[in-house]
Every structure is written in structure tokens, then in C-alpha cells.
Structure 1
Amino acid sequence: MTTWIGPDTEGYDDQRALFNAMIDKRPRLIAGCASAADVREALDRAARDGLAVAVRSAGHSVAGQSSNDDGLVVDVRPMTGIEVDVAARRARVGGGCTWGELDAATQQHGLATTGGRVSSTGVTGLTLGGGSGWLERQHGLACDNLLAVELVTADGREIRADESQHQDLLWASRGGGGNFGVVTALELRLHPVGPTILGGLLLWPFDRGAEVARAFRDWADAAPDELGTGLVVISGPPEEFVPAHLQGQPVVAVVVCWNGDHAKGQELVQVMRDLAPEVDLVGPMPYVQLQSMLDDPPGLRQYWSADYHDSFPDGALDVFLEAGARRPSPMTQHLLLPWGGALARVDVDATPLSQRSARWVSHPFATWEDAAADDANIAWVREYRRANAPFTTGGVYLNFIGDEGDERIKAAFGAEKYERLSQIKGEYDPGNVFVGNQNIRPRATV
């Protein structure tokens, strides 16, 4: 049965709160939906009352697209069922599950699929938008492992899209975002992972940044697919494992996720260890622990962006590090992620995503507490992107950005794929009811 929550309902403020504290939207109604029938009821009411619709899973959309003002939010967080078929290596996942919940269920069997780097992220939103994670170079993006999607369309139809039916909708769901309906369940391919992997963090003082960054670039670019990694500028955390002179100071870190033979992984990591990091936390660890290592608590202010790169030359590294040195907030993470591997071997037409051949993604990830610092942190992200522009391809991974306009959406897909997505949107949501996303305008259908 649908749970209705309005401004006068106890707990309304908790229910409407999003991951990004910059977003303070006040929907007229929040419909807690535990089934497809509940979703149909919510959509019927939105149509009757003339209310705009937003769809919420975990609420991690940095632009706040999983809520609205004076509209209706279809909240699928009650849909948390997970069924793991160990023999078939697949999982059926409720539309409201987080990656932490899915990883916990699959790791009981030594299985996982590529998931987000923050455990509280929703499985549905991340997968529909592409699904970048530490396992992507070995097993592709989350959307590459999407086998089926069950959803409710704007006109109340319950549809299952898989390789035998509604193949166009399955294709569109592998990166086209939440444009086509309210997802109630996903089926995902699983792979042997862990449950103990070789993972952790290596950390150097920032004045070693140029040396470490160049070594990292060459090391990561040539690494086997089993290595998931990233270069990140952060502030040294106030933890016992961090030397006192680095706590609160800019540092350069390398994240390691090696899902393979541990001896081979240790040999590979030795290349970076030879640079004498001041903190070395890389060792055998549970995959689920690595998956939550970069978690931020809710209630912080967020502004992110991203760009693709075919290469990352010394000039780009200099721009990256210069921006890292002047982060306005010590909470900000400034990331450089290598792509390639299995991600790049997916057939170009298999999903809506374009520029699979990109080798790198830069990801300025601004996080802060004080509303008075909004302008400074947003300006930092934008200034980095302007300085970084000569080194970019023009493409973008949409899950890493906020609301940056139609041209950025089209750049994520390319003209031909955007046109195909627009036609599919026109078939399943001709009225653009599902506008709370990286929105694809529906092509008029006859």
C-alpha cells in the first residue's frame, strides 16, 4: 500500500532530504511505493492533480533531480528486495536498493558486479546512468551488466525489458537514465569478486604530487584489467594512520582495487610503493570495506563535474594538481580515473554511451558545509574545467555531473544515439512526465 507523506506529516523533512544539502525542495506529496501497483497509484494521482513527477531511489542526484517543488515524488526506497541466483550469477534487485545493500548480499557468495564508489548510492540511478566503479576495467560498467529492467510507464503499463522483449527499452536503460519509467527492479550479471581483494590507499605529501601523478598515469594506463584505481587530491584525514604533519593538509593519494591473484597484485603495486608513500594501507581487505572507503555523510553541500580525455599529458596533470592545491574546502575530492579495459571493449552500439575509447575521466568533486562558501566552491569546479578544456574530448559521463544543460547531455550520447533515445522516449513517455533526470526530449511519434 502506498504511503502518502505531505508537509503536515511527521517526518516530512527527513523524507524529503537529499544527499546534496544544497537542494531544499518541498514536494506537495511523497509517495512511498513498495510495489508496481503503488507506483501506478502514485502516477495516477499525479496525473489527476496535475502534479509534476520526480522519482527517488537513494537521492544521490547532485542536481536534486530526485525531488521537486510542489509536485509528487515517487519514492521507491521501500523496494529493497534482493534475490541472488548463485548458479546463474545474476541478481534481481529492488528499485530502492543501495550498493552497500547489494554488495552485502552478493559478497556472501563471493560475487559482485560493478557498483558505485559510495555505498549509499542507489543501484537503480547509478546503473541507468552508466555505472562507473572500481570493477569497470575488469567487468565493464554497471549498465553493461544490466540483463533486464522492470518498470512502470507514465501511462501505468508494467513492462519487463530484456533480450527477448522490449529490446529497445533495455538498450535505452543501459545509460539513458531514468527517462522511460519508474524502475521497480533490475536484473544484473554477477562476477567472482573477493570477498577479499587487495585494496586500500597509498598517500604522499602534496609536494610530491608531480612525481607521483606522472608515475601513476603511466602505471595505471598500462595496468591489467584486474586493477581498479584512481588518483585523488584530498586533505589528510585526522586519523592515527596519517602522520600529524599531513593531517588537514593537501595530499596526493592512489586508491587500489585489485581483484585477482594477490601475489601478482602485490607485484604490480610495488611500482607505486617504490615512490615511498608516507601512508601505505594497501593489503588484503573485504571488497565491501573498499566500497565504502570514500563515503561522505549526508547533509553536506555538493557540486560536481567531469570530462573525458583520450590522454592525460603532463600539461593536464599540472592543471589537475594546481586545482587540487587551491580547493576551497578540505572535504573536496579531486579525482582522476583511468578507463579502458573491458569498458572500452563493449561494442560501440551496445549502449547509448559514447566515447567508450576515452582513456581518462577527470572528476572535480566539491564538498563543503557552509552555505556562505557556495560561490567559491562552484567557481572552483568551473575554473578547473575551463583550464582543463584544451585536454578534453568534449564527451562526459552524466552520473558525475549536475544540471549542465542540454548540450552536455547530447555530448554524453552523440547526435545519432541521442536521436535514437529521443525516439524511444517518444514511445514510452511522449508527454515527458519523467523530466527529473538528465532529460531526453521525446521525439513526436505518429
Structure 2
Amino acid sequence: MPMPMARAALDPSPFRGPLVRPGDEAYETSRRVWNASISRRPELIAYCTGAADVIAAVRLATTGAGAGLPLAVRSGGHSFPGHSVCDGGIVIDLSLMKGVRVDPEARTVRAQAGVLLGELDHETQAFGLAVPAGIVTHTGLAGLTLGGGIGWLMRKYGLTVDQLLAVDLVTADGSLVRASEDENPGLFWGVRGGGGNFGIVTEFEFRLNPVGPVVLAGPIMWRVADSARLLRFYRDWITDVPDELTTAVVHRRAPALPYVPAALQGEHVVMVVCCHCGPVEEGERVVRPLREWGPPPVLDLCAPKPFTAHQAMFDPSFPPGRWYYFRSLDVERLSDEVIDTTAEHAARIVSPYTAFPIFQLGGAIARAGEDGTAFGGRSSGHTFNINATCLDAEGFEQERAWARGLWSALAPHQAGVYANFLMEEGAERVEQAYGTAKYARLRELKARWDPDNVFRLNQNVPPA
């Protein structure tokens, strides 16, 4: 067993960022991550201010006093299973690396690895531009991108990785390399979906797309008793909607938020959340059949609004500090069996904080082609993000059992899984996220760039 590092093991002189250890005043706050059900105690948290600090920290963890200790990498800290913190090891924290530079003429943006999605949108939307990225503004850009990156613009512009032009990456031997279509193209293929298996990305360069700044977006809500009928209509309606529209079906108990009528709060509901990134009047035409379907909605908040406001819509449902547990799977289509199972289990949600989205895929995601990036599942129709959420440990086991039950009932219909939605589920599930052929290619890349599996606290791809 490796011995803990001495307090002076890392000389602060070549390292600009703060170093936090057990016993320091900032330690208890610094070791926390978004998912409060994860509680781990690292030996050192190294807050990096740039690539030089990342290099120093990696060398400490591989050849210095920290050699042999677990190494975790943290950007936004949103890893569902808590891969961004470890027990008894080193956390390389990138959260101070906040640089963003937009080139509105070239329609590109460079963003450092500590940038959060809301911070990126703030800079790019000043020019009416955006990278398709995520649904919660305090998600870290780095982890989201490296796993693929689904979000509200994906059917029009593809995944976050589909807009990636280049990365700067610190490898396991402490070297800084660039990967793009022209430089280290194999590595560039791997980081577009293969997670943090190959090194620590310190900076991303993305292509930007015209978006907003006003879009037609928001939820349209019915009671959960209407779920099965609504989903059958929805299945047919989305077959010919334009790529400008991305939707997610969300089941939950109506939240206690100011825009939800008091009489509805706590009731089991189903909502279709829309985001149409084209002209608002065209969006109104596209969404009209949904509004006019069957029983009138109990709440309709789909309206013109700033894209940044819509991007923040789910923030109150997924704040830091709650207890989260996730299961996930892709399906090819919403068959009658999938719909009936979903509606039945949705009515059993107990926690007022549990909310599980079913994301509509297709469009530009599928057109990008399966082999161009490591991301798997481009042919899937929907991805389920089944999550159990509680304020704390009270009721968490019951809600977690509910999530497992829904996942098990849907498992016969599984057509893959999104790597960013996995918990600690083992090598077989990681392989399912990529498919056998891509997984084998990723293992060969891993053997080249990280043969000792230094970067293993992730959805790990072991070296071939």
C-alpha cells in the first residue's frame, strides 16, 4: 500500500495554485463534489491555474512523492459516480482555469478545462453563437465534452464532440500535446467520446453555431395519468419534426417552484420540454400539434426566451449537495412496451426531487456517422437518464431501488448506453457504451498514451 505523502512533498514554488490537504481550513469544502452521496478524503487537492500546474501535478502523481496513489481529475465535479474525487490520493482540480476566448469572425471559441457550461454560454451568446452542450449550467465543460455531450442543440448541430476542433492535453508522462484532425488524429478520435482515459485536457477549441439569442423553449405539462397516451402521440409526432427542435420527456412530481401553481406542486406529472433553435414563429408552428393534443396541458411554459435562460431551466432540479443515483440506457424507439413500463414506474416516484428525462436523439447526431468519433450510440432513438434524487440519506435507498427497478424493466429493450450517464457498473457496461469494435480501438489507444492506466478513475478503458 502506498504511503501518504509528507506535507512538503510538493514544493509550492513551481506550482502557482493552492494546495489543500487534510487539516487545512478549506479541506472539507474542497473535497466535496456535486453528488453529495459521494464522500471521499483525498490526500492532496491541487488547484491548477494553467497547463504548467497540471504538468507538475501529473509528474507528482507518476514519478514524484505521490507515485502509486489514486489520481482523480476534477473540472465541474459532476461525475455521477464521483470519479472527480478519491480516497487517499491526489485530486487535480481544474476549476480555476476559466479562460474563454471567442473569435466571432471565425466562429470559434477556445475554453480552458475549468469552464462551466453557463460560463461558456455567457461568452458565446454575446455574439449570438453557441456550442451544443448540456442541460445544466454548472456542469463542467471538460467532462461533458469528453464523454460526448448531449444537449438542447444536438439534433441541429450534433453533440459537443462534433463541434470540437482541437484539444491541448497533458499525457501520463507529463508532456503537453495537441490533438486535432491534423495532429495526433488517432488521439483526437479517442478524446471525442472516450472520456478522460488518455490524459488531462487543459484547453478545448470548438466551432460555434448561430443560436438565438431568443429561442422558443420550455416545458408543456400534463398529469402522469396521461403519460402513456401522450407518449404514443409524441412517438408519432417527432418522426417528422425538423432538426431545429430537440425535446426531452420528463417524469417527476411537479416541483415547488414559483412558476408552478401551488395546487399542482407535488403531483405526479409528465412534461415534454422543447427547444426550437430556429425562428420563433416557425417553432410555434412545429410545437402547435403537441399543445393541441388530447387533454389540455395543466401548465404550458413553452415560450420565447433567451437561450441562456432555457439552458438554466434544469438548474433548480439538479443543484449541488443532493444525493443522486443514476441508471441509464438507450432505446431504438419508444415501443408500446417501453411506453407502458415508463408510465407505470413514473407513477411510483416518491421523492419530490427525482426527475428523469428521456432525451430525443437523431438528426445531426445520426448524420455525423458512427465511425468518426469514439462516441457510441449515434443510431439510438432516445436515451433514458433515470435518476433517484433526495435531499440527503433519508429515503435514498427507497428511491434508488425505484431507479433500479425501472432500469431492470426496460433492460430487455436496451440499445446501448451513454458513457456520461454510467455509475460504477463494470467493464462490460463501459464496452456497451462504445460497442465491441470501438472499445478494442480505444484499448489500443490507451496502450499507446497511458500504458500504466494512470488515468483510471473514469469510465475506464484498460490498455490492450
Q: What band does the TM-score fall into relative to the shorter chain? A: over 0.9
Q: 2:452 aligns with which of 413, 431, 436?
A: 431
Q: Is 2:395 aligned against 1:380?
A: no
Q: Which amino acid aligns with 1:136?
A: M
Q: Match for residue 285 of structure 1? A: 305
Q: 2:42 aligns with which of 9, 24, 27?
A: 27
- Once the two structures are TM-superposed, the CA of residue 220 in structure 1 deviates from its matched residue by 2.3
Q: Match for residue 8 of structure 1? A: 23
Cα distance change, pair 240–119 in 1 and its aligned pair in 2 (3 A): closer
Q: Is 2:351 aligned against 1:333?
A: no
Q: Which amino acid aligns with 1:146?
A: L
Give yes or no for contact 1:151–1:184 (8 Å, CA) kept in 2. yes
1:306-341: CA deviation from partner (whole Å, max 9, x where unpaired): 111111112211111111111131111122111100
- Once the two structures are TM-superposed, the CA of residue 180 in structure 1 deviates from its matched residue by 0.7
1:85-108: CA deviation from partner (whole Å, max 9, x where unpaired): 111111100010000000010000
Matches of 2:104 and 2:127, distance apart in 1: 7
Stretch deviating more after TM superposition (182-191 or 231-240):
231-240
Q: 2:165 aligns with which of 147, 153, 156?
A: 147
Matches of 2:228 and 2:256, distance apart in 1: 24
Q: Match for residue 329 of structure 2? A: 307
- Please list, as runs of the form range in 1=range in 2, the aligned pairs for 1:263-278 lying within 5 A after superposition: 263-275=281-293, 276-278=296-298
Tell me, which stretches of 5 or more residues in structure 2 are unaligned? 1-15
- Please list, as runs of the form range in 1=range in 2, the aligned pairs for 1:81-92 lying within 5 A after superposition: 81-92=99-110
For the residue of structure 2 that corresponds to 1:263, the secondary structure is helix
- Please list, as runs of the form range in 1=range in 2, the aligned pairs for 1:26-425 lying within 5 A after superposition: 26-47=41-62, 48-49=64-65, 50=67, 51-275=69-293, 276-295=296-315, 296-393=318-415, 395-425=416-446
Q: Which amino acid aligns with 1:7?
A: P
For the residue of structure 2 that corresponds to 1:245, the secondary structure is coil
Q: Which amino acid aligns with 2:55?
A: R
1:173-217: CA deviation from partner (whole Å, max 9, x where unpaired): 100000111111001111000011111111112222222222222
Matches of 1:163 and 1:240, distance apart in 2: 48
Give yes or no for contact 2:252–2:268 (8 Å, CA) kept in 1. yes
For the residue of structure 2 that corresponds to 1:418, the secondary structure is helix
Matches of 2:433 and 2:98, distance apart in 1: 30
For the residue of structure 2 that corresponds to 1:305, the secondary structure is strand
Matches of 1:198 and 1:160, distance apart in 2: 38
Give yes or no for contact 2:255–2:353 (8 Å, CA) kept in 1. no
- Once the two structures are TM-superposed, the CA of residue 238 in structure 1 deviates from its matched residue by 2.4
- Once the two structures are TM-superposed, the CA of residue 152 in structure 1 deviates from its matched residue by 0.7
- Once the two structures are TM-superposed, the CA of residue 390 in structure 1 deviates from its matched residue by 2.3
Matches of 1:237 and 1:45, distance apart in 2: 46
Matches of 2:428 and 2:71, distance apart in 1: 23
Aligned residues: 442
Give yes or no for contact 1:2–1:41 (8 Å, CA) kept in 2. no
Give yes or no for contact 2:255–2:352 (8 Å, CA) kept in 1. no
Give yes or no for contact 2:114–2:142 (8 Å, CA) kept in 1. yes
For the residue of structure 1 that corresponds to 2:127, the secondary structure is coil
Matches of 2:29 and 2:396, distance apart in 1: 23
Q: Which amino acid aligns with 2:57?
A: A
1:218-267: CA deviation from partner (whole Å, max 9, x where unpaired): 22232110001111012112245433332111111111100112111101
Matches of 1:367 and 1:435, distance apart in 2: 27
For the residue of structure 2 that corresponds to 1:432, the secondary structure is coil
Matches of 1:240 and 1:209, distance apart in 2: 24
Give the % identical residues.
44
For the residue of structure 1 that corresponds to 2:73, the secondary structure is strand
Give yes or no for contact 1:335–1:362 (8 Å, CA) kept in 2. yes
- Once the two structures are TM-superposed, the CA of residue 403 in structure 1 deviates from its matched residue by 1.2
Q: Which amino acid aligns with 1:291?
A: Q
Matches of 1:266 and 1:354, distance apart in 2: 33
- Once the two structures are TM-superposed, the CA of residue 269 in structure 1 deviates from its matched residue by 1.0
TM-score w.r.t. length of structure 1? 0.97
Q: Which amino acid aligns with 2:433?
A: A
Matches of 1:238 and 1:96, distance apart in 2: 32
TM-score w.r.t. length of structure 2? 0.93
Give yes or no for contact 1:202–1:253 (8 Å, CA) kept in 2. yes
Matches of 1:283 and 1:181, distance apart in 2: 42
Q: Which amino acid aligns with 1:282?
A: C
Q: Which amino acid aligns with 1:19?
A: W
Q: Is 2:42 aligned against 1:18?
A: no
Give yes or no for contact 2:193–2:376 (8 Å, CA) kept in 1. no
For the residue of structure 2 that corresponds to 1:265, the secondary structure is helix
Give yes or no for contact 1:129–1:174 (8 Å, CA) kept in 2. yes
Matches of 1:438 and 1:9, distance apart in 2: 31
